[in-house]
């Protein structure tokens, strides 16, 4: 979508306060699980049927990559897709560059898939993805026998990866708490004879382990007495296509949860939220801040815990969020910072180094956006302190740096500010939450195109 008034294609958008948010929200599918369903479907024998797939740009890019690697990927209805797998060990070499758009997850998981196969592929993405570090995935893949043979410096896209022949099983301790790195090593290890072991000193989201087991892989998972886990994957499993139900994305629910908390008079019900403990750090933090969030109908669906949430406007108080909680809410700091702007006192967020290498430098983007709207804060290398109060002036223009979550977080800020908040570009929201504006408009939010 190109805006004729703006040849760069950016679409500035404003959100303003316009009464309470009320009603029920059906969430888009979880992004992490959606990527994995398509890629693991490509690695499995037979048919994987997916319901509730997130049809955002990031996931659609991964679907095209799965097809380029030899799977037959078809949309059969809204959120309903089938993947007829190429099969482990029998992926085909893609004939053109694999384009991951804005998606670090898609790129890093696919590096693991290609790295473990005897094929060569060129990886690329948009201006944001080209800035993000890939060495964290490439270093263990090199130990497994893969190599970067062309382009770049070996740490950034674009790059051409030659997969291992044969793939060497390794034991690898994650130097950063990253589910993407863990997943890349495990995915490469699928095609290795023997055991691939990943040690994660801090627990990260475990959708890869859960879904690989569901597709028939054998994994042993041990808790370490000092924290974290040891994951042992037995190589060359018979992966068989399965039905996958994708639950609602807690990282997308986060925007409605915080919006309902900060817009006076609001009451919003959010159905079918993924409640995997490796993803619920934001809810835990908001409850500590005094949020009125009711969790009901807790159940298992498709191997993952899910529940319904009811959120009501609340008086929030600042808290200190421990660094150990960061992996379970890593994508939620921008929107937590918005909640913090409406909480009494200081909210101190620790252990934020990884925020600097997301779709943008999120720590800097959040600090700049809050400052532009009159919120007091202190930005340190790995920590952010937001000093909240009873209201936010608003009126600022926020630079989003090709980052969907910065755009959505600051539109939510605008829903409760004294004057509207403008984000310089709303187009990237389509990467993870294409119906964001429609869903929030239904709940009562007011958006305006901005010049």
Task: Provide the annotated active-site residues.
Answer: 331
Rounded alpha-carbon distances, angstroms, from residue 426 to 11, 48, 256, 396: 5, 33, 17, 15
Least distance from ligand S3P to the Cβ atom of residue 165, Å: 27
Q: Using CB under 6 A, which of 13, 29, 32, 439 touches ligand S3P?
A: 32
Q: Does 354 bind ligand S3P (CB under 6 A)?
A: yes
Which one of the spans 64-72, 165-173, 176-184, 291-299 is the region binding ligand S3P (CB under 6 A)? 176-184
Which one of the spans 175-183, 219-227, 292-300, 344-352 is the region binding ligand S3P (CB under 6 A)? 175-183
For residue 236, count CB atoms less than 10 angstroms from its CB and return exposed for 0-12, middle for 13-18, buried for 19 or more.
Answer: middle
Name which of 122, 116, 119, 118 is nearest 99 in CA terms: 122
Q: Which of residues 188-207 bind ligand S3P (CB under 6 A)?
A: 204-205
Q: Does 352 bind ligand S3P (CB under 6 A)?
A: no
- Nearest residue to ligand S3P, by Cβ distance, number only: 32
Measured from the CB atom, is 62 or 245 closer to ligand S3P? 62
Least distance from ligand S3P to the Cβ atom of residue 405, Å: 9
Can you say whether the dihedral through the CA atoms of 107, 111, 112, 116 is positive or negative? Answer: positive
The footprint of ligand S3P on this chain (CB under 6 A) covers a number of residues equal to 11
Q: Does 331 bind ligand S3P (CB under 6 A)?
A: yes
Least distance from ligand S3P to the Cβ atom of residue 105, Å: 4
For residue 2, count CB atoms less than 10 angstroms from its CB and return exposed for 0-12, middle for 13-18, buried for 19 or more.
Answer: exposed
Q: How many CB atoms lie within 10 A of CB 284?
A: 14
Vertex 154 angle, CA 148 and 156, to 5°: 125
405: Cα separation from own chain's centroid: 9
Q: Does 229 bind ligand S3P (CB under 6 A)?
A: no
Measured from the CB atom, is 312 or 354 closer to ligand S3P? 354
Measured from the CB atom, is 57 or 331 closer to ligand S3P? 331
Radius of gyration of the chain (CA): 21
Q: Using CB under 6 A, which of 34, 62, 178, 328 touches ligand S3P?
A: 178
Query: How many Å apart are CA 307 and CA 296, to the nearest integer?
Result: 6
Least distance from ligand S3P to the Cβ atom of residue 244, Å: 15
Query: How many Å apart are CA 372 and CA 341, to the nearest integer?
Result: 13
Which one of the spans 44-52, 173-181, 266-274, 290-298 is the region binding ligand S3P (CB under 6 A)? 173-181
Q: Does 102 bind ligand S3P (CB under 6 A)?
A: no
Beta bridge partners of 232: 197, 220
Q: Does 330 bind ligand S3P (CB under 6 A)?
A: yes
CB 382 within 8 A of CB 408: no
Beta bridge partners of 446: 16
Query: How many Å apart are CA 101 and CA 156, to the nearest integer?
Result: 14
Measured from the CB atom, is 179 or 336 closer to ligand S3P? 179
Q: Does 328 bind ligand S3P (CB under 6 A)?
A: no
Q: How many CB atoms lie within 10 A of CB 152?
A: 15
Which one of the spans 125-133, 143-151, 177-185, 406-414 is the region binding ligand S3P (CB under 6 A)? 177-185
448: Cα separation from own chain's centroid: 27
Per-residue contact flags (x/-) with ligand S3P for residues 105 to 124, judged by CB under 6 A = x-------------------
Measured from the CB atom, is 177 or 343 closer to ligand S3P? 177
CB 92 within 8 A of CB 86: yes
CB 28 within 8 A of CB 432: yes
Positions that interact with ligand S3P (CB under 6 A): 32, 105, 178-180, 183, 204-205, 330-331, 354
């Amino acid at each position: 979508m190109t805006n004729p008034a703006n040849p760069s294609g950016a679409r500035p958008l404003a959100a303003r306060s316009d009464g309470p948010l009320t009603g029920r929200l059906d969430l888009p599918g979880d992004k992490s699980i959606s990527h994995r369903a398509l890629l693991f479907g490509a690695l499995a024998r037979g048919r994987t049927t997916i319901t509730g797939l997130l049809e955002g740009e990031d996931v659609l890019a991964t679907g095209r990559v799965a097809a380029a690697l030899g799977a037959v990927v078809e949309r059969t209805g809204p959120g309903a897709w089938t993947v007829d797998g190429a099969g482990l060990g029998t992926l085909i070499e893609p004939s053109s560059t694999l384009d991951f758009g804005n998606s670090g997850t898609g790129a890093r998981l696919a590096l693991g898939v290609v790295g473990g196969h005897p094929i060569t592929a060129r990886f690329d993405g948009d201006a944001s993805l080209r800035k993000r570090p890939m060495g964290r995935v490439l270093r263990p893949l090199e130990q497994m026998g893969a190599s970067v043979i062309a382009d770049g410096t070996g740490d950034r896209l674009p790059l051409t990866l030659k997969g291992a022949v044969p793939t060497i099983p390794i034991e690898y301790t994650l130097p950063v708490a990253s589910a993407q790195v863990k997943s890349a090593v495990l995915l490469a290890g699928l095609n290795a004879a023997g055991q691939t072991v990943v040690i994660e000193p801090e627990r990260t989201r475990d959708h890869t382990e859960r879904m690989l087991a569901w597709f028939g892989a054998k994994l042993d998972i041990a808790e370490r007495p000092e924290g974290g886990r040891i994951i042992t994957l037995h190589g060359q499993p018979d992966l068989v296509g399965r039905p996958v139900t994708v639950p609602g994305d807690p990282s997308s629910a986060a925007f409605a949860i915080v919006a309902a908390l900060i817009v006076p008079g609001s009451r919003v019900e959010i159905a079918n939220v993924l409640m995997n403990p490796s993803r619920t750090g934001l809810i835990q933090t908001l409850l500590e801040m005094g949020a009125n969030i009711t969790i009901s109908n807790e159940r298992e669906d498709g191997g993952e815990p899910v529940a319904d949430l009811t959120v009501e406007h609340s008086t929030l108080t600042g808290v200190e969020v421990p660094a150990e909680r960061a992996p379970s809410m890593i994508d939620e700091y921008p929107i937590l910072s918005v909640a913090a702007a409406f909480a009494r006192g200081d909210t101190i967020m620790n252990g934020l180094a990884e925020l600097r290498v997301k779709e943008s430098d999120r720590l800097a983007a959040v600090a700049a956006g809050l400052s532009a709207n009159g919120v007091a804060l202190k930005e340190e290398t790995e920590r952010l302190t937001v000093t909240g109060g009873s209201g936010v002036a608003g009126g600022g223009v926020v630079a989003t740096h090709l980052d969907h979550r910065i755009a959505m977080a600051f539109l939510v800020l605008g829903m409760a500010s004294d004057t509207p908040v403008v984000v310089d570009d709303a187009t990237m929201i389509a990467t993870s939450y294409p119906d964001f504006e429609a869903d929030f408009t239904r709940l009562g939010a007011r958006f305006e195109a901005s010049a």
